[in-house]
Amino acid sequence: MKVTAVKDKLLANNKKIHWVPEHIQEGRFGKWLEGARDWNISRNRFWGCPIPVWQCSCGEQKCIGSLKELREASVGGNNFFVVRHGEAGQNKARTLNSNPKTVFHLTEEGKKQVQEAAKKLKGKKIDMIFCSHFPRAQETAQIISDAIGVKVTVDDRLREHDLGKFDGKELDSYLRSFADVEDRYYSKAHGGESFEELEKRVIEYINYLNRKYAGKNIVVVTHGDVVRAIARYFDRLSIEDTFKFKPGLAGVYEYKAGTLPIRDGQLDLHKPYIDEIELTCKKCGKAMKRITEVLDCWFESGSMPYAQLHYPFENKKEFEDNFPANFIAEGLDQTRGWFYTLHVLSTILFNKPAFKNVIVNGILLAANGEKLSKRKKNYPDPNELFEKFGVDSTRFFLYTSTAPMAEDVRFSEKHVEEIVKKFTLTLWNTYSFFVTYANIDGWKPQNDVSIDKRQAWTPANKLDKWILSELHVLVKEVTDSMDEYQLTKATRPLINFVDILSNWYVRRSRRRFWKSENDGDKNEAYRTLHTVLVTLSKLLAPFMPSVTETIFKNLTRQESVHMQEWPAADLSFIEKNLNKEIRTVRTIVSLALRIRGKKNIKVRQPLSKLILVLPAGIKKTMIESYRDVILEEINAKELAFEKDGRLATPVLTVDARKIGPRFGADTQTIIVASKQGDYAIQHDGTVKIPAKGTPAYTLQIDEVSIGYKGKEGFDVESELGMIVALDTVVTPELQDEGNVRDIVRSLQELRKKAGYDISDRIYVYVKASPELQRAVTKFAEFIAKETLAIEIQEGGNFEWDQEETIEVEGKQVEVGVRK
């Protein structure tokens, strides 16, 4: 193939394709097109698709483009004249007859029709006549026999289509019984013979005649559906076109069977069978043989869009309506393989690309960066991986990795395990939380709550407003990324959303679900979480089809999440200021918990004070409005505000790689000055560093990072100008409360072990040292509230459902629970 002749067209069509990642278009693929060479598509091997070119010893060549053309050009075979019987009694009555014992004869009109058909057959040098054993077919064959003087042979393989329970019924009732033409072709629900089975029977008979005789003119007298089956075989009709074909009464249809490659009664176009077919050379009259080569398999791969629909012989409209393809995806190596062959053939045939959008995947490597190897077995067994972590989590890891960005990925099952722990289980536990409490309260959605329309209710609770706002931000973000075929960009926000849904919304809303009264606030919490989970399952469905199907079907009782409309974002739900507020609060909490982690102070241990230094743009009044939330989250008693100079010293880190191109030899001077503290942070976030004899160096926000080092007596963490400090001194009073929280945690574990329902009221037993016992008495109300305890007992002769001895601050404490 002279690819070089169409190089300019190849390059022009490449510009019409949306490549992901974009750089492949002008880079790897574009460069390959620039250097395109002519393509030798023939291969000298046995296996493969035979090239359909026949050659004569005189040098004449012929390329065959269809089976019909091969039949007509091949040496040998027979000519078939297929005749449908004339009008019979059941035709006139529009009833069906597939039982030969129920006899219908030709009508007078039918006899006239057959006599006209016989005239068409005169002069055709008919050698033999075969007919069905049904009387109407035999009568038709006999009239033809009398007219042309050829003997009739009856064969029941040409019998009528067995219509089962529809025998004797009206034709229209039979046709109405099928859903579509595919159903009519494959179905045998009527208890008789499917059209597919009829076709197999008839074609085997035609091939039998073709093998037994050669060069004969053969009349076959049969029935309407049998004529259809023969027409489908010779003319390669689609199923739809087969049933559009209406064989006329006493209609005559001529077919040149020729010789086709047959193996075990079936058409086989491969070697060696195709090589047995000879053509006659029109130039010299000698036999033409097929050339020995087969096609390059990549030529076949590039032909896929046409071959799969048998275009142009059938499905012409379906092909033209769906070409070019909207989307394909394959590995980076296919820029010189499938992507290339599709593009070349499509450009040559249609002067257009074969696809509009393409995602180029990177290559999976072993954990150590080596290529995956069956010999080395340097990869986890996929079946074991799926059994252990699930197919959905494996799939989701690949989406969130850089693989859809044409980057190689070092694959380890640890990556999938991390997705399971941090995402899949978090999602499932959130769903499980909702189902558990909704079942306890008997809550059901009043209607199909969809985010595609503004709900008839507007949540009053700020948490509900916030999570719905974040949900619509998510819908927009995922949709926009999907529209651009950016799969990694589409999936990563889902991880963050599930995290804030579980670890902020649900955790902050738990008491709303726990309370006994079914008030408006509790109902709104259910409606909000239900809406979020249903919408989230739709967004996740393309990436985690199995998990989302389970969640969606259980929450909605609808057929399938994969049959739903894609969610549409409603911008009126999005409250940017509220989202920013909660994000700031969560940042404060995260920084404070980071300090606890570094000091090895568990969250159950109360602390006295949290101190904040706020950056420009964050108002103290806003933080004050979330005071109770912040203090509860970090388990501190007091919130205070300070200026940064009292708490910490700023530490400036300069990114040498970023400033190097701008400042050249001065880069080192800037770095030294920054380490010595010789700089000034400006209100706009830029940094000024003095310079000798020249204006000060100005560093942009993205060229530096500013951290803070706590002054003596303060443990600090910072982010984006926010400084958080904790007073980590634990007083005896705070220690007592922390110890009680440890006891509560143990009692909660015993509740789980005992298998209590979440709403069960219980008795608890706590026996400790005098100091701890005083703390238990002091915080008895807190213990009872957290554990749903009717009474806290220090002793008594009771049988406890679950009990154990734990250690709190080095001292043993006996705890137990019973109903």
pLDDT of residue 344: 97
In the predicted model, what is the mean pLDDT of residues 212-231? 95
Residue 70 included in any domain: no
In the predicted model, what is the mean pLDDT of residues 727-755? 91
pLDDT of residue 448: 52
Query: Which letter does DSSP use for residue 424 in this model?
Result: I
User: Nearest 5°: CA angle at 766, between 760 and 767?
Assistant: 160
pLDDT of residue 27: 94
Residue 607 included in any domain: yes
In the predicted model, what is the mean pLDDT of residues 198-222? 92
- Statement to judge: residues 480 and 401 lie in one domain: yes
In sign, the C-alpha dihedral spanning 156, 160, 163, 167 is negative
- Contact criterion met (CB below 8 Å) for 179 and 186: no
pLDDT of residue 265: 63
Burial of residue 293, with CB atoms counted within 10 A of its CB: 0-12 exposed, 13-18 middle, 19 or more buried? middle
- pLDDT top residue among 178 and 190: 178
Least confident of 397-401, 476-480, 585-589, 650-654: 650-654
pLDDT of residue 266: 74
Residue 795 pLDDT level (bands cut at 50, 70, 90) = confident
**What pLDDT, in 10s, does the model give residues 10-59?**
999 999 999 999 999 999 999 999 998 999 999 999 999 999 999 999 99
- Statement to judge: residues 774 and 791 lie in one domain: yes
- Contact criterion met (CB below 8 Å) for 536 and 498: yes
The encoded tokens of residue 462 equal 């700020």
The encoded tokens of residue 601 equal 């102070």
pLDDT of residue 645: 66
CA dist list (Å): 612 to 93, 314, 582, 644: 95, 73, 16, 9
Residue 214 included in any domain: yes
Which CATH number is 131's domain given? 3.40.50.1240
- Contact criterion met (CB below 8 Å) for 603 and 633: no
- Statement to judge: residues 615 and 701 lie in one domain: yes
pLDDT of residue 166: 92
Residue 197 included in any domain: yes
The encoded tokens of residue 350 equal 């249609």
**What pLDDT, in 10s, does the model give residues 99-116?**
988 999 999 999 999 999
Residue 458 pLDDT level (bands cut at 50, 70, 90) = confident
- Statement to judge: residues 461 and 541 lie in one domain: yes
Containing structural domain, residue 15: 3-41+296-361
- Contact criterion met (CB below 8 Å) for 230 and 202: yes
The encoded tokens of residue 575 equal 């409250």
- Statement to judge: residues 436 and 538 lie in one domain: yes
- pLDDT top residue among 797 and 437: 437
For residue 816, the cross-strand partners are 765, 803
**Cα R_g (the chain), whole angstroms:** 40
Query: Is pLDDT at 753 greater than 80 in this prediction?
Result: yes
Locus of tokens 């000879």: 278
- Statement to judge: residues 696 and 743 lie in one domain: no
Query: Is pLDDT at 295 greater than 90 in this prediction?
Result: yes
Residue 277 included in any domain: no
Q: What percent of the chain has pLDDT over 90?
A: 66
Q: pLDDT averaged over the chain?
A: 91
Among 541, 290, 255, 492, smallest CA distance to 392 is for 541
- Contact criterion met (CB below 8 Å) for 736 and 773: no
Whether residue 615 has a cis bond before it, omega within 30° of 0: no
In the predicted model, what is the mean pLDDT of residues 410-437? 94
The encoded tokens of residue 660 equal 């190097």
- Statement to judge: residues 236 and 127 lie in one domain: yes
In the predicted model, what is the mean pLDDT of residues 223-248? 92
pLDDT of residue 616: 80
pLDDT of residue 642: 86
d(CA 500, CA 131): 77
**What pLDDT, in 10s, does the model give residues 326-351?**
999 999 999 999 999 999 999 999 99
- Statement to judge: residues 656 and 799 lie in one domain: no
- Statement to judge: residues 311 and 444 lie in one domain: no
d(CA 97, CA 100): 8
Which CATH number is 472's domain given? 1.10.730.10
d(CA 421, CA 427): 10
Among 577, 578, 612, 585, smallest CA distance to 717 is for 612
- Contact criterion met (CB below 8 Å) for 396 and 424: yes
DSSP reduced 3-state for 812: strand
The most confident of 143-152, 234-243, 810-819, by mean pLDDT: 143-152
- Contact criterion met (CB below 8 Å) for 595 and 726: yes
For residue 129, the cross-strand partners are 152, 219
Residue 56 included in any domain: no
d(CA 431, CA 552): 10
- Statement to judge: residues 128 and 149 lie in one domain: yes
In the predicted model, what is the mean pLDDT of residues 147-162? 95
**What total number of domains does the chain contain?**
5
The encoded tokens of residue 523 equal 């109902």
- pLDDT top residue among 492 and 665: 492
Residue 447 pLDDT level (bands cut at 50, 70, 90) = low
Residue 379 included in any domain: no
- Statement to judge: residues 617 and 750 lie in one domain: no
DSSP reduced 3-state for 434: helix
**What pLDDT, in 10s, does the model give residues 700-739?**
888 888 777 777 667 888 887 788 998 888 899 999 999 9
Residue 423 included in any domain: yes
- Statement to judge: residues 304 and 337 lie in one domain: yes
pLDDT of residue 516: 66
Query: Which letter does DSSP use for residue 107 in this model?
Result: P
d(CA 476, CA 473): 5
Query: Is pLDDT at 454 greater than 70 in this prediction?
Result: no
In the predicted model, what is the mean pLDDT of residues 222-229? 97
pLDDT of residue 291: 96
Helices within 484-519 (DSSP H only): 487-500, 507-514
pLDDT of residue 237: 86
User: Nearest 5°: CA angle at 281, between 278 and 283?
Assistant: 175
Locus of tokens 């241990």: 605
Least confident of 81-90, 568-577, 674-683, 703-712: 703-712
pLDDT of residue 456: 55
Q: Which residues contact 677 (CB under 8 A, 6 or more apart)?
A: 649, 652
Q: What percent of the chain has pLDDT over 70?
A: 98
